[in-house]
Chain A
């Protein structure tokens, strides 16, 4: 079946502009996650959505970052007033409910963001 999809695959923007990154999780997955992969930094957790519960935003690096998940499916990560240090690959993942025995997060191909 279809995996996690993300769009765009690449985004180049100018410093100070806002960007929106989209994630389509695997159908039926109620949990959705955003991570950031920066050069030399590895992957860092940003935010986690589970069903209708309040999201865990503890990994968002600043108030310029926000995310929403509409209808329990598609998610959008928004970065306002982008800075050069925001340049990274943004990865989305989804999973079965956390209580499921599989306990695996399935990752999308990522969006490479370059801020000039």
Chain B
């Protein structure tokens, strides 16, 4: 079985400041890793994914994440946030050969002008 932990349920950040949203996972098998974003009153949208290769993954809207296998982490970062980044962010994993996504409980990012 898999589990995903997003320790921070809410993260307030000043506009143009950097942000890191933490994600740790647990799995007995190899997994693919994803970050999804949910803007207010909208569905989930894929930000980025790690399938294989370079552990630093770049996504849309200036976000990036780094896969750290030894620490079983996949933290999301952005060097300078904008008001438009206000949303809920979900980390998810999917085992190789299995189609079920397991999500964390989400982190609500609030940008302070």
Contacts and interface: CB of A to CB of B under 8 A. Distances in A.
A92 to B, nearest CB: 9
B46 A104 contact: yes
Contacts of B100: 45, 48, 56, 58-59
Interface string A74-101: 0000000000000000010101001000
A41 B46 CA distance: 20
Interface string B22-50: 00000000001000100001111110010
A58 B102 CA distance: 13
Interface string B71-113: 0000000000000000000101010000111111110000000
Interface of A: 3-4, 31, 33, 35, 40-45, 48, 50, 56, 58-59, 91, 93, 95, 98, 103-110
Interface of B: 32, 36, 41-46, 49, 51, 90, 92, 94, 99-106
